[in-house]
Structure 1
Amino acid sequence: MADKAEKIAAARKKLKQYQSKQKQDSVPRGSEPSSARETPVPAQSSSSSSCINEDIQNQNHLPASSGPSSYGGPAVASYFNNGSGHGVADFFAMEPQVARPDVPQMEASVHSINRISDGIGQLIANASADLGPQNTILELESEKAELARTLNAQKLENDELRLRLRNNQSTVEELRNEIDKLRVENSTKVTSELGPIQEQLQMQTQAVGVMVGEKAELMGTVGKLQSLVKERANENDELQNRLKASRATVQKLEKEIESMKQSGSRFESLERTIGVQLNEFQEEANKFRKLYEDLQEDLGEHKQKLLVRNQEFQTVQKELEQTRSDLSLAKLRIEQLSSDDDLDFNAKIEALTQQNLIKAQQIKDLQEIIKQIGAERDQSNQQYQNYVLHLNKEVTNLADKIRELTEENNDLSSREGDLVRHVGELERQMQQQLSKEKKYAAQQQEDKPVEAGDRQALEAEVKLLKEKVATMEVERAEYMKQNETVELLKRGYEDGLKARDEQIASLQLTVERLQQDKPDVARLMAEIDSGKVGASRAVAQNMELKAQLEEMQKAFVQISNDKLELTEKLQTELHLGKEMKSTYGQLETELHSIREKLHYKDEEMIRLAHENTELNKQLLQQNQEIDRLRYYESRASDGNVLQLELQRAQQQLEQMQRSDHGENGCDGHGHDTHDQHHHHDQTDLHREIDVLQQEKAE
């Protein structure tokens, strides 16, 4: 590589030396070939133009070279401006194109001179027609002198151009020979040096292919990991949704448990009120029993009194009959004894009147006694009616309580149905969660066999939850059986209430009949008999009521026991709910830990992806730096050489400018064209240097 760079630098030095020689040759001789194109030519005669045309045609037969930048400069600029850079072999394979002689410039100058001569001829013809002969002769002489000057100047320029052409042709032949030699040498050296370079390129291409394959494998693994991360994220979202649903169900269950607690507290308050009312009813029943016993005793006493009074009434009736018979006998005797003495008769009449007064007093007493008995009977009837009304009120209250209990039982049954549905939904959710957890566990076993302990713990928790659900189902079945027994008791109570209603209706009818009946003395016995029958019926009904009250008490005891069992079940359900909450809390903590693990894994994946990308970037940067270092190794010596050439070229330009300032005013225009040509060469050099500096910076 170093030999190649040295050869390239030597070739460039030779090219630059040739260009500087051409520039130094062009400075003292006045002007470039392009000056002939730009110099203003005055008008001349037709005779002198013909001579000039002959000289120029003779000059056109000679080969002419281009400016100093005709060889070397464009080739080097095209090499350094080409972004692809076909290599050293392509640079040395390029043939140096020798510039053709500047024939079009000479033809243009000849054509311009012909035009000037034609214009001068026309002007002369016009002037001869318009002006006098004297003016035309003077003008023609002056123009002739000017044309002679221009002809001499152009002859000198043509001589200089011929000398330059000869020198350029000799230098071009020398350069051709040198380029042929260099071409042969470079072709041999390039063929000898391209072998190991091609081997190195093949090795590098193989390494690049291996790196590309590894990169493809890494990209595939990264894609798989990204898909796994997406699946894990979707699974996490599903688990979060399940957790939200389970939390919602837990909140619903908590609300239902709170409502059950409230209903339990209501049941307890109802039990307390029912107990208080039962105690009150028992006290009232005892009072009614005492009143009934007192009434029975009063009735017995009244019955005895009525019997006595009946006997007395019968005796009084017998006495009345006897008195009537006695009166009739007395009347007969009075009639018989009318003939007797008046004194005896008056005495007997007084005695009889006294007896009549006594009997009337006895009748009044008996009537008062009958009135008292009727009042007592009315009081007893009112008391009995009040008792019946009180019993009706109690029965209605019991019916209302039974209805409330039935409604509460219906509410409890509906709540049980809701709870059963919720339990079924929870079972379904648990089954779905178990199936998904099994799938998730299978995936985790494929990915990570380390989390087997956590899965076993989750499976144990799921088994516990299944057992709890089974216990809940058993308790639900027991609760349904208890509800059925309560419904049977309720039906029995309803039948008893119907019988009681019928008995109360019959009693009300009897009471109405008793109220409609008048307290006639003749019907007292029948009423007393009916009262006895009603009393016996009332006693039987009271016995039935006592039995029913005992049954009701037993039913209330059963209901209280059922309520206690329900409260115990509620407590167990609350305990289960707390356990479920604790299990859900544990599951949430486990899910949080799993999320954290997944988050750490995601961060690790992202970090690995960034590291992978950074490694790829570093590999690319290293490869680029290696290529750049190799390129800079080959170009470092070229940059130094070009800087030295720049300095030399600048020095030469300064010398040329100084020499140009020292020349005469007649060569001013040629000096301007020469400066333009040097400026063009300088811009080409600057461009080449800028291109090399850009390549070096890259």
Structure 2
Amino acid sequence: MADETRQSKLASAKKKLKEYQQKNTPLVNTGTKKKRKVKEESGQDSLSNDRHSPDNIKDLLKVLVSDLSHSNGVALPSLDRNQGSAPGGDLNENSEENKPLSSTESLRQLSQQLNGLLSQSSSPYINGDSAIMPTNEKELETRNQELAAALDSSTLENTQLSAKIDELTKQTQDLTDQLSKERKDFEQKFIKDQAAMREQLQVHIQTIGILVSDKSELQTALSHTQQAARQKSGEVEELSSRFQASRQRVAELERTLSSVSSQQKQHEKYSKDLEKERDSLKIEVYRLNKIYEEVKQESSELSEQLRLRLLENSTMKMNIDELNKKLEMADLMIQQFSSQSQSPDASQQLHMAMEEKIQLESQMSQLMESIEKLKAERDQYAMQIQEDGKIWKQRTEQLISQVKALSEEKENSLTQIQELEALVLELQNRPVTMLSQESAVQAAPQERGHTEEETNALGEQVRALQQEKDDIGVQLQTQIRDNEQLSRLCQEQEDRLLELERTVQRFNDENVDRQQILEDMQSDKATISRALAQNRELKEQLAELQNGFVKLTNENLELTNGLQSEQHVKKELVKKMSKLQEDLHEVKEQMEVKVAEAKTLHDQRDQYFTHLQQYTTAYQQLAIEREDLHKQYLIQTQLMDRLHHEEVQGKAQLEISQQELQQAKDNLARLSMENEELKEELGKRENVNLSTLPRDQGDGVESSTVSEGKQNSQIIIPEDFESREEMVAFLTSTLSQLQRERDEIALQLKEQKRQHQAAIQQAVHLRSEQQLHTMAVTDASGSTVPIEIHEALRTSMEKLQARFIEMMQANVELKERVEELEHRCIQLSGETDTIGEYIALYQNQRAIMKQRHFEKEEYISRLAKEKEEMKVKLSELQNLVMQVVTERNEWYNKFLQSQQNPDLIAGNVESSISAERRIELNATDGGEMADISLMDENEVPPQSDEERKPHHQEDATTQQIMQLLQEIQNPQAGPSSFLGENPCVPFFYRLDEKDEIKIMVI
């Protein structure tokens, strides 16, 4: 278009020259009159004819200069000044009449025409007033040739500059294509990263659901959570300080790239330190394993010593049995000596038997002391073994075993009471039979009809015998009562001995279980320590991940700044291109500057490309690290699930143990009530026996009566315990009360034993007197004692001896039982302390877990809110960027149109440069072309309002974009920032199929 308009103007100029020639040709024939007419028609002042030709030549030269200037973007002027008001119509008419010609051809034609005019005008002026010298013609020809050469050179330079401008436009087009391609790739990466983030959000939502299900269980310990909250507040302050330190560190990383290598070196050093710590921990584990093996060997040695002690104990028991047998033989010998009344040395043999009995008792006491020593040593070894294996389950089992033992003792006591009732009935029936036999013996001599003297003598004998029989019956009743009590006590001692043997056997069986439990505890401790170490490692890795997020956000901001800088560089290129079009005189210098700037841009592009490659490699490494962190996070979640499962199992076991403790308490209460009932029944029975069978003769044997003034011990079990410590205290108090009752029973047993020994001595004395009395009666009357009475006395003495032996054994068993109960009390007191410690540890762990879950929920909710805000800001930013892109495309299209139509650019470029140096591509219509006058070339029309509106719109959009970028970079300035003092933007990244980084802001 510009070439066509230029050629049309040249054609119009040529036409006007022809008209001028036609007007000047009649001047040669007509003379001065026609010259005056030409002067009047041309509208010039009254000048001579010789001065018109140079003025016209000047006009033509000005037309040529305007053509040269217009070839570089300036409009051609019309030769007539009056035609400036309507240039459009003249252009259209001239374009229809004449065909376009090239600039060189038109100049040649003009030069030929000028030469013709000069040659034509020289002939009539020879005789006239002003003749032109041939030297002036030569100068004009040389001037014309110089102008033609200058015109050719300017055209060549103009073509070269246009070619360079085309190259620059191609480069800008390539850069815009590359920018659009990068933008599309960035959008694709953004969509893929958004999909990945959605998947991660689904995983987080599932984890949130699991955590919410556990939230209801963790609302019981508010006090512990408050303490944990205080601790966490301190940790938050520490974390804030760490965040500030990390921000400073990020700033340092933004300043220099060399710090990345230093950080890598630090990480390598840190990994080496961790490896060293791992090696040291391995050495410590090996040392602990050695210590554990040594402890195991010591426990095996102690178990072997315990086994040997048990063997010695069994041998001692065998010796005791042999001594008991010897004692029985001695008692039999005493009985034989007592029955043989005719032997003169019976008293001596009895005395020897008593001495042997005393010796045997002393030996038995020595053996008992040795047994007690062995038991003490056994208890010490047992204590050493039990101190290594104290756990809560064993305590509950011991309580249950005690309850079972009490129930068994109650059943045994019931059976003994029934047996004693049967014996009492039998003993009550025996005197009736004896009276019937005596009445039959008395009736036989009355039927024979003796004399009164014989009857009197027999009556006296009968009364004496009756009195002796009554005395023997009273002694028999007392002896029977004592024997019953002794038999009951001996039976109880036997039952307790059997129970102690069972407990020893069970204790031996439980030693293996204790060792297994100790191993399990140590393995659990090892797993807990590993879990804690993994938790610490995961915390450190999460901190590193957050630092990586901050780094990536900063790098993203750097990339955005780089894009903005590239856009700014492109805008500057557009400005420089417009300057090239505006300033033709400074084209060469500006082209050199642009070439230099293009080279720098290429260098910068290469540098950016290398930086992008480095960033891609770094991003790949970070992606690999993120995958490793994700795997470790999955492992941690599995460990957390396992710990939660173990916690649920612990709760179930705790409930079971509480139920068992409640059952044990109920059993204890029931057994205490039954014991009280049994004591009351025994007291009643003893009172009945004492009231029915009193001692008529003061034989020195005191009746053992139960003191009724003693307060009945009742164990009141409360329904609810406020804490486990209260429950343990209640159990210890009940055990101590039972121990006191046991001590009282042992004292009563000792008293009864003493009374029994006194009764035995009195029985022996009475027996010797009875034998002497019976011997005197038989010598006086010639009659004997009945055989039934003798057999009854003999059986009662045998029973008495058997009861005595059983009572001694029961005494030994009672002592062992007392020691065993004391040992169990010590165990219970130690285990209650460990129960409290385990409970406190468990509550602290639960409080810590609850606090962690609460922090996770809060952090996830905060991230969700920040993500929503960032989505809104990114959508606004995307809209504004699209608006800017559309505006830039419109300006670019206008710029292309202006490149195709350089004549449409008005002379208002200088004013646009001075007005805030905006980017203007001068999109004016073709009909608004300004005329260039030869007199007023510097006059510029004012800028229209329509040209200023897009600049204001572009300024508003750029301001909005910069404001959004500042809000994204500095979320503290926003009204609803959830990140506190951290101005970083969280985002994720990954590689696509083309090995390109895709960044996704949360």
Q: Which bracket does the TM-score occupy, shorter chain normalised?
A: 0.3 to 0.5
Higher relative contact order (CA 8 A, sep 6+): 1
Whichever of the two has the greater Rg, that structure is: 1
